[in-house]
Amino acid sequence: MADLAWPAVLPLPTFDAYAVEPLDAALRTEMEQGAARQRQVYTRVPERITVRWRFTQWQYAIFRSWYANRAKRGAAFFTMSLLSGLGMVEHEVRFVGRGATPWRATPMRGPRWIVTSTLEVRESPDLSDEVLDIALAVEDVAGLIAAIDALGLLVNTTLAADPW
């Protein structure tokens, strides 16, 4: 993981405009006749996540300075908790933005700032093959997840609080 982390004094992205976009890992070749052929070219492909923050004036000032000095104007990867299929999970990301700009800031009344950007995810957290096999074999996946959550709660709170 990256040595740099998203500053704890800054909020995480909002759900507004939040979107996950996987990049294509397949190469498609159109044939003169018949169906096109596709093959996997890459086994690991970065994803892009469109994000939006709502900053106060001081948070915006901190963001600008952090981006310039710590995130090396978008060149450095950093860790940030982002929403994924597994819930809120640490991701290793960097700024890529859209077009020629890494992020965009719009002033609002208050004074508040809306900052939008696109982040590149180095490797998206997914289920392992073993966990996928179990999830595909079980008829009641929601029940399995509820049982795992209940077991985790029992072990981490009830049993951990009573050391015998």
Same domain, residue pair 144 and 80: no
144 burial type by CB count under 10 A (0-12 exposed, 13-18 middle, 19+ buried): middle
For residue 2, count other CB atoms closer than 10 A to its CB. Answer: 16
The pLDDT-based confidence of 69 (bands split at 50, 70, 90) is very high
Same domain, residue pair 164 and 133: yes
Q: What's the number of domains the chain is made of?
A: 2
Same domain, residue pair 141 and 164: yes
pLDDT at res. 161: 60
3-state secondary structure of 162: coil
Average pLDDT, whole number, for the chain?
87
Taking the model in full, what pTM does it have?
0.76
Rounded average pLDDT over 86-110: 90
71 is written with which tokens?
């995130």
Same domain, residue pair 33 and 114: yes
Q: Using alpha carbons only, what angle is made at residue 14 by residues 112 and 17, rounded to the nearest 5 degrees? A: 100
Q: Does the pLDDT value for residue 126 go beyond 60?
A: yes
pLDDT at res. 44: 72
Pairwise CA distance, residues 135 & 88, whole Å: 20
Same domain, residue pair 143 and 115: no
The pLDDT-based confidence of 144 (bands split at 50, 70, 90) is confident
Same domain, residue pair 12 and 92: yes
Residue 120 CA, chain-centre distance (Å), reads 8
Rounded average pLDDT over 31-59: 87
Same domain, residue pair 142 and 81: no
Q: Which DSSP letter does residue 73 get? A: G
Strand-pair partners of 119? 49, 95
Rounded average pLDDT over 25-50: 82
The pLDDT-based confidence of 162 (bands split at 50, 70, 90) is low
Q: How far is CA 104 from CA 28, 99, 134, 149, in A?
A: 34, 11, 43, 39
Top-confidence residue, 149 or 56: 56
Range of the domain at 157: 128-164
